[in-house]
Amino acid sequence: MKRIKTSATGGKDQTPNDFFSRVYETTMLIPYGRITSYGAIARYLGSGRSARMVGWALNASHTRSELIPAHRVVNRNGLLTGKHHFGNSSTMQQLLENEGLIVDDDRVVNFREKFWDPSRELKQILVSGKK
């Protein structure tokens, strides 16, 4: 029984349907100028209590060739908790302000106004039949 030994890939990548990839896909669906929270994404993916994993995934989003708008993901308070992961601690804020969001003291002021909940916004898509 010689299983095919999957180390052919070098021992990395693969797993296109794992939690991480779903986080990336969801994140890329966030419209320009809108934001969401880690918990919202986690809930949308089915694991409402895995918000930390969402952040963990975004942490590795750098390795992806696709540009993932991780700056559009903040915590439930609208706080830019991950700003320190954009090289410059002011990069995240600049990106958000560049999209019309108002950031003050590391917090998105118009958070509720610009909040985009995937489990709510994408619900219609799921119902439409398009997977």
Spell out a b/e string for 7-34, using b for 16 or more CB atoms within 10 Å of the CB, else e: eeeeeeeeeeeebbebbbebbebbeeeb
CA distance 45 to 117: 12
Rule CB under 7 A: which residues touch DNA? 15, 18-20, 37-40, 42, 47, 49-56, 58-62, 70-71, 73, 75-77, 81-82, 84-86
What is the closest distance, in whole angstroms, from the C-beta atom of residue 37 to DNA in the complex?
4
What is the closest distance, in whole angstroms, from the C-beta atom of residue 80 to DNA in the complex?
8
Q: How many CB atoms neighbour CB 121 within 10 A?
A: 17
Give yes or no for a contact between 122 and 131, defined as CB atoms under 8 angstroms apart.
no
Pairing outcome for strands 107-108 and 36-37: unpaired
CA distance 114 to 78: 10
